Amino acid sequence: MRFPAFPRPPDSARVRRTRPNAGVGRAAGDTYDVTQEPGAELRHTLHQGLALTALICGVPVLLILWGLEASSADPRAPMLGLYAVMALVCVWAAYRIMSGKSLDGALKITIAFNALFVLFQAYYGVVGGQVSLNMYLMLITNAVFGYLVFGTRSAGLLNLGIFGTALGLVLLRAAQGDLQPSFFDLQLFLSTSTVLVLLHALAWYKNRFIALAHKQVRLEQEAWTDALTGLPNRRRLYQQIGTLLDPEGASPGRGGSVILLDIDHFKGVNDTHGHLAGDSALTHIAHLLRQSAQAGETPGRWGGEEFMLILPGVTGAGAARRAEALRQRLLASPHPQVGPLTASFGVSACRAGDDLTRLVARVDDALYGAKAGGRDRIQTAEMASPGFEGDVAAMPALMD
């Protein structure tokens, strides 16, 4: 019977996310030991880039506005001070972000100053009986910053509050006779409100899309992960073994070896200490395997009390030495409740013409040869002849 071939998991399934034992003994190159929400790092980078662009572009605009106000026939001191303060706030916030400080903190302070700028412009920024165009632009800019920092609902309520307050102040100035609203002013208010609604819809859609993508990534990740140990499951191991095999025969730079290990007398662990202790022993072994894995290698749970370590590019002799190191490490790391644990190891290198069935059957035969030979020992596929009694020191010579 042939083992089924499974497709390669999509790249999205390798994105990091939180799980209870994440980060414990993770080897370089692991893709299963995830530590944060999918897309969080990319989303932060995009938000950072957008915020920096807006802040850096805002500085020259504010300085130009300050120059225009200063050169006007009747410069207003409050507006001059406001433009200068806003420019300094933008410079400070950009510096904070580029220095690796909190993005949210810098943007929250910028949002607060922007809101004051909008309200000040709405009441005091009337020029020639019309509202300054800067107020509308700042309303939109502040809305963008709000969606970068707050949730969609909170940012929408904040933007609605600032827009409504600014509109009320403009109407108040109109009621006092200082402002003569024109059709152009009405168009600007309607256009700004439309843009704000569009920004809210886009922010809602973005969050909805991210939530669905997060769920999909989680489901894909769980399909390739053993629930108890957090290691790749047999489905994932099938796929990884497939990467070792060349259907046309072994070629330079390809191939590798497989180690299959089985915890000795594991039924006795469950019978003596209970199944919870047995589960804890399995996670203990998984932790040791994870610590021992090097970059590009895949430790996984084959099933029950059996584990596998896939070693790309490692010869049979090298795999035997790795198995012996694992055996010694297991002996030197007793489980706190169960005590010392031993395991039997089967080792096999890829051979020309191998397929999944042949390789797995060969390493499985080697494993049961080790168990039949007395357990707590290593047997390679090359040592599979009945009655072979040898130690690991002799393995390199036998396999060279």
Contact of 96 with 106, CB cutoff 8 Å: yes
* For residue 280, pLDDT beyond 60: yes
pLDDT band for 9, please (50, 70, 90 cuts). Answer: very low
Nearest partner of 197 among 135, 143, 131, 132, judged by Cα: 143
Query: Catalytic residue numbers?
Result: 305
* For residue 15, pLDDT beyond 80: no
pLDDT at 79: 76
What value does the mean pLDDT take over residues 9-23?
Answer: 38
pLDDT at 125: 66
What value does the mean pLDDT take over residues 55-73?
Answer: 82
Q: What is the dihedral of CA 319, 322, 324, 328, to 10 degrees?
A: -160
pLDDT band for 23, please (50, 70, 90 cuts). Answer: very low
* For residue 100, pLDDT beyond 90: no
pLDDT at 27: 38
**What tens digit of pLDDT does each residue of 230-261 get?**
999 999 999 889 888 865 444 444 689 999 99
Taken in order 14, 19, 20, 23, the sign of the CA dihedral is positive
* For residue 10, pLDDT beyond 50: no
The whole-angstrom separation of Cα 13 and Cα 10 is 6
Classify each residue of 304-333 as buried b or exposed e, where b means 16 or more C-beta atoms within 10 Å of its C-beta. ebbbbbbbbebbbbbbbbbbbebbeebeee
| Mean pLDDT of the chain, nearest integer | 79
pLDDT at 390: 38
Partners of 312 in the β-ladder: 256
Q: Quote the pTM value.
A: 0.52
Structure tokens at 26: 């993770």
What value does the mean pLDDT take over residues 74-95?
Answer: 83
pLDDT at 40: 64
pLDDT at 378: 94
∠ CA 229-232-237, nearest 5°, is 140
Classify each residue of 40-78 as buried b or exposed e, where b means 16 or more C-beta atoms within 10 Å of its C-beta. beeeeeebbeebbebbeebbebbeebbeebeeeeeeeee
Assign 102 to helix, strand or coil. coil
Least confident of 117-131, 157-171, 345-359: 117-131
CA atoms within 13 A on the CB side of 125: 25
pLDDT at 106: 82
Taken in order 386, 390, 391, 393, the sign of the CA dihedral is negative
**What tens digit of pLDDT does each residue of 26-48 get?**
333 343 343 445 456 666 777 77
More reliable by pLDDT, 21 or 57: 57
- Residue located via tokens 């950072």: 48
